Every structure is written in C-alpha cells, then in structure tokens.
Amino acid sequence: MSDFRIAFIGAGIMGRPMCLNLLAANFKLVVHSRTKSKAADVLKAGAVWADSPAAAAKNADVIITCVTDTPDVKKILLGESGVIDSARPGLICIDMSTISPFETQQMAKTLAQKGVVLIDAPVSGGQVGAEQAKLSIMAGGDKETVEKLKPVFEAMGKNITYCGTSGFGQITKLANQVMVIHTIMSLAEGLAFADSAGLDLNTTLAATSAGAAGSNSLKNLGPKVIAGDFAPAFMVDLQLKDLRLVLEYAEEINQPLPGVALVKELLSVLKAQGCGRDGTQALYKVIKQLGKK
C-alpha cells in the first residue's frame, strides 16, 4: 500500500471513477463532496467520508480537487472550513479541475505561505478516460513535487506531462480545449453537409474516419450524432466554461481566437435552447438548424 494518504474532493462524473482507481491502486482515501450520495460507491469501495475540505485535509499528505470551476476550487482550498484551515507544512494540493491559470497562480502563492504546495494538473480524456485510468494529465508547478506524485498520477492516467511552472498545466489544458472543440466543430459541419447533400451518414463516416479527417472525436462522437444520441461525454455547459477561460486568457496575451469565439456563440445557442446538459456533439443540431429555411 502506498505511503501517501490522499483526500479527494469532488465525486462527480470525473472524480468518482478517479477515486475508484486510486482505491484500486491501494491508496488510503478520504473523500468529500457537496452531495454525499454521489460518493456512495466510493465509500462502499473503502474510502472514508469527511464532512468538510478542512476535515479531509487534516491527516492527508495529498489533497486532490476535481470540481467544476474556479470559484469552487477557491472555496475548497481557501474558504471557510477549507483546506487552508487545517493545512500543515508539507501538504501537497493537486487541482485536477479546469480553471483560471491566473487564479491558480494566486492560490499557489497563498498556500505557499503556509508551506503547502499547489500543483495544477487538469486532465483530458473524459468520463471514459477516467473510468479506464487512461487520462492525459497536464501538470504545472514544482517539478520535483510532480515527479514525487507520479505513483498517484499513474493510478488515474497513462500520459503524465510536466508542462512548466505554476499555471502552465491549466494553460496547456486550455490549448487542448481549443483543439478539441475544433475537431467537434469539424465533424458537426461535415456530417451536416453530408446529410443535407443526401449522403448516407454511416457510409460517410466510414470513408472519412479512415482518411485525413479521422480523429478521436469523429470516431467516438460521429456514431452518436448519426444515432441522434446527444447524451454527454462532456457537457455543453462545461465546454462553455472552458471556452470562457480560453478567451479570457487569450485576451490577456493578445492572441485572437476567432474560431473559438464562433464555437462559443453556437454553444451558447444550444444552452439558450435548454441543451446545456447535452454532449458537445450537439453542435450538429445547431449547424443543421442554420440550414433550415
């Protein structure tokens, strides 16, 4: 059994399977979530419940957070009954959420005043990657600490990359989101074009997946679009949050991203139509709507 005592905060779509994989790797695990029922199977698998982030951090060597947005992480780490209340020198915090790089850097400085190290380590791979322990992990912060944490990361992912100083993991994840959303946009437009032209979509998918247009998004989401399955592997609402972070950071570094701005507007239409909890492949629906007379 590993020497690391881990506290995990967040038992959602991603956090729950990540917890289960840590337990499977024989880590001692304490868990906290806003909704205790979401952690039921994690507790059944051997984790111990904590009533607050501060309680979770009390005897932990490593705290892992995997929650929705920047304010959530800030509240967990620095808020009332937060990690900082019971943190002791030497504690390592790993934030595996996708949040603001600026806020990450500020939180790292605040925690450092108590001798706590913050590593930003957002992930890519979605729910399936989390369930199969095949996440791509992008780590920023102290390099020696990241190396020390490899056994923890390897219990959850297969590709662990050190990206640079504090905040660089988050910036790398935002670059990833730029690339991913464009592949989803490409399949949405390509399949909408094919459908409007009268092609058989299954035939089109087979032909394009095998050629230069092939991508993980086309392979995994293309069949869902054809089947009319818009259940989320990654929700529109979460993608909108990520693209907001992308555009905020892009503005600070004076890098125009016109394609991202367009996709964000199209996703906003989906949200306004009540489809915020659909998967991002629902971009197809918006593209098809644009073609209706």
What's residue 1's pLDDT?
A: 41
Question: 33 near 53, Cβ under 8 Å?
Answer: no
Cβ neighbors of 235 (< 8 A, separation 6 or more) are 276, 277, 278, 279, 280
- The residue from 125, 141, 164 where one domain ends is 164
Mean of the per-residue pLDDT values of the chain: 96
Q: How confident is the model at residue 192 (pLDDT cuts 50, 70, 90)?
A: very high
3-state secondary structure the chain: CCCCEEEEECCCCCHHHHHHHHHHCCCEEEEECCCHHHHHHHHHCCCEECCCHHHHHCCCCEEEECCCCHHHHHHHHHCCCCHHHHCCCCCEEEECCCCCHHHHHHHHHHHHCCCCEEEECCEECHHHHHHCCCEEEEEECCHHHHHHCHHHHHCCEEEEEEEECCCHHHHHHHHHHHHHHHHHHHHHHHHHHHHHCCCCHHHHHHHHHCCCCCCHHHHHHHHHHHHCCCCCCCEHHHHHHHHHHHHHHHHHCCCCCHHHHHHHHHHHHHHHCCCCCCEHHHHHHHHHHHCCC
The mean per-residue pLDDT over the stretch 106-112 comes to 97
pLDDT bin (cut points 50, 70, 90) of residue 292 is: confident
Question: Which residues are part of the catalytic machinery?
Answer: 173
Same domain, 31 and 157: yes
Q: How far apart are CA 96 and CA 256, in angstroms?
A: 27
pLDDT of residue 56: 95
CB 30 within 8 A of CB 8: yes
pLDDT computed for residue 291 by the predictor: 86
- 272 and 160 within one domain: no
Report the pLDDT averaged over residues 223-249.
96
Using 50, 70 and 90 to split pLDDT, how confident is the model at 126?
A: confident
Taking only the tens place, the pLDDT of each residue in 255-280 is 999 999 999 999 999 999 999 999 99
pTM: predicted TM-score of the whole model, two decimal places: 0.93
The total number of structural domains in the chain stands at: 2
Candidates 138, 84, 76; CA nearest to 112 is 84
pLDDT tens string 239-255: 999 999 999 999 999 99
Q: What is the mean pLDDT of residues 22-30?
A: 96
Residue 202 structural domain: 172-290
- pLDDT at position 96 over 80: yes
**Residue 233: predicted pLDDT:** 85
Give the residue from 164, 180, 207 where a domain finishes: 164
Instruction: Work out the average pLDDT over 104-127.
Output: 96
Identify the pLDDT of residue 2: 62
Domain at 202, CATH number: 1.10.1040.10
Residues 112 and 220 in one domain: no
Q: What is the CATH number of the domain that holds 82?
A: 3.40.50.720
Of 164, 199, 233, the residue that ends a domain is: 164
pLDDT bracket for residue 3 (50, 70, 90): confident
